[in-house]
Amino acid sequence: MTQPLLKIENVSKRFTRMPGLAERLVGRLTGGGKPVVVHALSDVSFDVARGEVVGIVGESGCGKSTLGRVVSGIYAPSDGRVVLDGKPVAHERGGNVEKLTTRVQMIHQDPFASLNPRMKVGETVAEGPRHHGIIPRGEVQARVRALIEKVGLEGAYADRLPHQFSGGQRQRIAIARALAMDPELLVLDEAVASLDVSIQAQVLNLFMELRRDLGLTALFISHDLSVVRHVCDRVAIMYLGRLVELAPADVLYSDPKHPYTRALFASVPTVGSGKREFEAIKGEIPSPINPPPGCAFHPRCPLAGPRCRVEVPKLAGAGASRTVACHLNDGGVELKDKAA
Ligand SMILES: Nc1ncnc2c1ncn2[C@@H]1O[C@H](COP(=O)(O)OP(=O)(O)OP(=O)(O)O)[C@@H](O)[C@H]1O
Ligand code: SF4
Ligand SMILES: [Mg+2]
């Protein structure tokens, strides 16, 4: 079997921050007010094969962007490790994170904020490869133009400033900038979410084309279930910093197993937008500062039993290359039967 390109091994990420106003008020009543620890990721493990696109889905605050940043080497994990092609992507020394790879590039949601407004876009695309010596000096100009054309814009646009472009065009430039680093893995964090639906389709088509031509591997973070189904080979469902289900997209969409995945998929399409985004599930999302014991989903799960309140379910195989973290999956008991 070929080695996976990316290995995420038992990754946890905790942030320590001072409490906000509401937390301070509660803290005063309970004698607290000390720094709080946010459990943004807890024991996340999965592999990504070369050329594969894996979707990351879950409600706001479940740790998707944190996972993207840990994979990109922007954050070092608190525990566990992220390995690209056999090498760690970052390490932490004296509290400072050192990114060890240029081969993972992240594309963010907001193409307006992610480009320097005072820099010609050609310079923006050239900046990274110039700094890291990825393209020989004499070839930079030609390569930048070729990249700008590759993402569907005219090469002469290299001399323009970001404000001269639309949102979709800016996101194309952000993609060109990422490609200029010759990446092996792209992390797209809600990369089309801020664009109009028709523009989203164009940018997604570009991504699919590039994927085919360049054999790209990607983590695709999105709230939009129809987009995820369209572009991803496998989909990872996250809840409160943990991976709860991971399966090939067709398997997951036709037969979601984890009660949380089922609740997400039971949501209705957003009226008028033509999009299929999930709606809030009954009950509040618990705080990642104080996650519930046992299965973090138990306070909202219609199938929760006594064991769910005390024991964290492990991610385990459930057929058809699918893994699920739910006690109902233990001992080969099919969730479908239980839920019926
Ligand atoms: N730098 C940080 N310092 C403290 N807490 C953080 C930091 N970054 C993220 N968090 C917290 O970690 C948790 C996970 O955040 P994250 O941004 O990864 O979620 P997300 O799934 O990307 O959400 P969204 O869908 O809203 O983008 C949240 O509770 C968030 O407030
Ligand atoms: S482990 Fe229990 S609480 Fe968690 S999803 Fe499964 S049935 Fe629900
Ligand atoms: Mg996010």
Q: What is the number of other CB atoms lying within 10 angstroms of the CB of residue 316?
A: 12
Task: Quote the pLDDT of residue 284.
Answer: 83
Task: Quote the pLDDT of residue 271.
Answer: 45
**In angstroms, what is the span from residue 56 Cα to ligand 2's centroid?**
20
Ligand 2 pocket check for 257: Cβ under 6 Å:
no
**In angstroms, what is the span from residue 80 Cα to ligand 3's centroid?**
21
Helices (H), 180-265: 197-214, 225-231, 249-254, 259-265
Ligand 2 pocket check for 328: Cβ under 6 Å:
yes
Task: Quote the pLDDT of residue 336.
Answer: 44
Would residue 273 be called left, alpha or beta, if left means φ above 0 and alpha means ψ between -120 and 50 degrees? alpha
Among 18, 44, 56, 65, residue to substitute to test ligand 1 (most atoms within 8 Å of Cβ): 65
Contact between 259 and 301 under an 8 Å Cβ cutoff? The reply is: yes
Task: Quote the pLDDT of residue 34.
Answer: 79
The tens digit of pLDDT for each residue in 13-27 reads 999 988 777 777 766
Strands, sheet with 36-48, edge to edge from the N-terminal-most edge strand: 36-48, 6-17, 79-84, 87-88
The per-residue DSSP string of 18-49 comes to: ---HHHHHHHHHTT--S-EEEEEEEEEEEEE-
Cα separation, 262 vs 259, whole angstroms? 5
Q: What lines the ligand 1 site, CB under 6 Å?
A: 15, 17, 38, 40, 58, 60-66, 288
**Closest residue by Cα to residue 223 from 71, 76, 59:** 59
**In angstroms, what is the span from residue 241 Cα to ligand 2's centroid?**
15
In terms of pTM, does the model score above 0.75? yes
The tens digit of pLDDT for each residue in 44-97 reads 999 999 999 999 999 999 999 999 999 999 999 999 999 999 999 999 888 899
